[in-house]
Amino acid sequence: HYCGGSIISSDKVMCAAHCKQSTDNWTAGAGSAVMAHQRQVKNGKKQLAHPFYNSDLIDFDYMVMTVSSAWDFNAYVQPIKIVNPSDVELPNFTDCQTSGYGYTQHLGGGETLPGIIASTLQWTDIQCITIEECRKTWVLQNLTSRQQCAIVDGATSCMGDSGGPLTVM
């Protein structure tokens, strides 16, 4: 497991550009909360990062991944509902939710020791906040309208959750 993603059409998955793999030897799974038992697994075909992606500024951090064959949409596998583009910025403290199979525990030693990846899908309710509110905490960070900040006490997304969904409830 490396990153999360969201199905956006029959053969496309939206992810973060910083999740791009050096080869197309990757798979995408969907349909189960248990990571090792996905109902559908597709081979990777193509990764297309946003042409303006800037890893230094973490800007335009979007990527569309194409899988080798179409997802079979059913009760367990569906494309994510996309927020209306006219809702450029969510109001402060909008109820949202983040989910993924990222690290549930750090083992210490900085980034030299791996963390423990979740075997079942983890999620947390979180509050989406405006860029203005976010700047109160992240004063030195370059923040743009292409990013969404969110906060909650006692929980967060972590490494391995990148690229996964932030849903509006």
Q: Name the DSSP letter for residue 90.
A: P
**Alpha helices of the chain — where are they, by DSSP H?**
131-135
The reply to whether 18 belongs to the active site is yes
The reply to whether 106 belongs to the active site is no
Choose the catalytic residue: 18, 32, 50, 106: 18
Contact partners, residue 149, CB within 8 Å, separation at least 6: 128, 129, 130, 131, 133, 134, 138, 143
Sign of CA dihedral 153, 159, 163, 164: negative
Choose the catalytic residue: 61, 99, 157, 161: 61
Q: How far is CA 2 from CA 15, 16, 110, in A?
A: 11, 11, 18
Give CA torsion, residues 76, 120, 70, 23, to 10 deg. Answer: 170
The reply to whether 37 belongs to the active site is no
Choose the catalytic residue: 6, 99, 157, 162: 162
- Is residue 35 within 8 A of residue 101, CB to CB? The reply is yes
Distance CA 157, CA 52 (A): 25
What are the residue numbers of the active site? 18, 61, 162
